[in-house]
């Protein structure tokens, strides 16, 4: 009897240790593995399912992920524009040389920096942008960074459409939508770029 109870106990312990997923298809990945997988799966997506909107709930998650970014001296010098008016999106696409995919996107996020608040504004806003891109990947959305700063002509295009205060500069325009087609992340790992203790 003791032997049976012992065996039952070991089986239960093994089952718990293996953390079988709900479908019993294998070992549930750890939180770290899920997050790392998301980082490695992130890719620029430039084609979106026409007419499929990003919901308010999805947008809220993207914006909150963005604002969770670190910033120099915690100054948080970001200001974020949300664009979902078709006319503005199309005019942005027309004016931005590498932003033509905006004609297909249901919305875009423009990450701007307060240049008075911090000299690091473009670094801090880059981290906001990366958080948004990673959150989009995690939520099955597609997004891509399209550059505004440091190009004066592109910044002027955005300023001509939206009345942004002079001390605030748009860093980028991030179209967001539901990915159309298959998109694969690029392989970037290159161990020759790692320098351990000496160059
Ligand atoms: C600073 C910066 C500027 C970029 N500008 C543009 C752009 O104007 N248009 C565009 O289609 N992609 C732009 N990209 C996206 C890059 O082309 C893309 O990240 C790169 O090719 C690597 O591909 P991946 O994002 O799929 O890993 C930009 C990315 C960064 C970080």
DSSP state letters, 104-166: T-SEEEEEEEETTT-TTHHHHHHHHHHHHHHHHHHTT-EE--EE-TT-HHHHHHHHHHS---T
pTM above 0.85, yes or no: yes
The residue nearest atom 21 of ligand 1, judged by CA position, is 44
In this predicted structure, what is the pLDDT of residue 26?
Answer: 75
Distance of CA 22 from the midpoint of ligand 1 (Å): 37
What was the pLDDT predicted at 75? 98
- Nearest residue by C-alpha to atom 15 in ligand 1: 145
> Can you give the pLDDT at residue 27?
84
Neighbouring residues of 72: CB distance < 8 A, sequence distance ≥ 6: 118, 119, 120, 123, 124
With a cut of 50, list the residues of the chain below it in pLDDT. 7, 12, 14-15, 17-22
pLDDT score for 5: 54
Residue 109 and residue 148: Cα distance in Å, rounded? Answer: 12
Name the residue with the closest Cα to ligand 1, atom 10: 146
pLDDT, residue 55, reads: 98
- Site residues for ligand 1, CB cut-off 6 Å: 43-44, 46, 98, 144-147, 186
User: How many CB atoms within 10 Å of residue 81?
Assistant: 17
Can you give the length of the chain in residues? Answer: 199
| End-to-end Cα distance, the chain | 65
- Averaged pLDDT of the chain: 92
Question: What domains lie within the chain, and their CATH numbers?
Answer: 9-41 (no CATH), 44-177 (3.40.109.10)
With the CA atoms of 147, 42, 89 and 108 taken in that order, what torsion angle do they form, in degrees rounded to the nearest 10? -100
Which residues is 138 bridged to in the sheet?
A: none
Phi, psi of 142 (to 5 degrees): -115, 140
Which atom, in ligand 1's list, is nearest to the CA of 96? 8
């Amino acid at each position: 009897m003791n032997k049976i109870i012992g065996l039952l106990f070991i089986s239960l312990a093994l089952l718990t240790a293996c953390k079988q997923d709900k479908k019993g298809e294998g070992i549930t990945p750890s939180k770290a593995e899920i997050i790392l997988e998301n980082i490695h799966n992130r890719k620029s997506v430039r084609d979106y399912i026409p007419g499929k909107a990003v919901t308010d709930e999805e947008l809220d998650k993207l914006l909150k992920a963005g604002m969770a970014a670190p910033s120099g001296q915690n100054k948080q010098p970001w200001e974020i524009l949300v664009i979902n008016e078709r006319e503005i999106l199309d005019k942005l696409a027309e004016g931005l040389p590498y932003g033509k995919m905006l004609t297909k996107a249901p919305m875009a996020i423009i990450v701007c920096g307060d240049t008075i608040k911090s000299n690091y504004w473009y670094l801090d806003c880059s981290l906001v942008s990366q958080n948004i891109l990673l959150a989009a990947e995690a939520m099955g959305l597609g997004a891509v960074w399209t550059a505004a700063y440091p190009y004066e002509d592109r910044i002027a295009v955005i300023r001509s459409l939206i009345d942004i205060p002079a001390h605030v500069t748009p860093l980028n325009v991030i179209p967001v939508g539901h990915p159309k087609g298959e998109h694969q992340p690029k392989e970037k790992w290159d161990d020759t770029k790692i320098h351990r203790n000496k160059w």
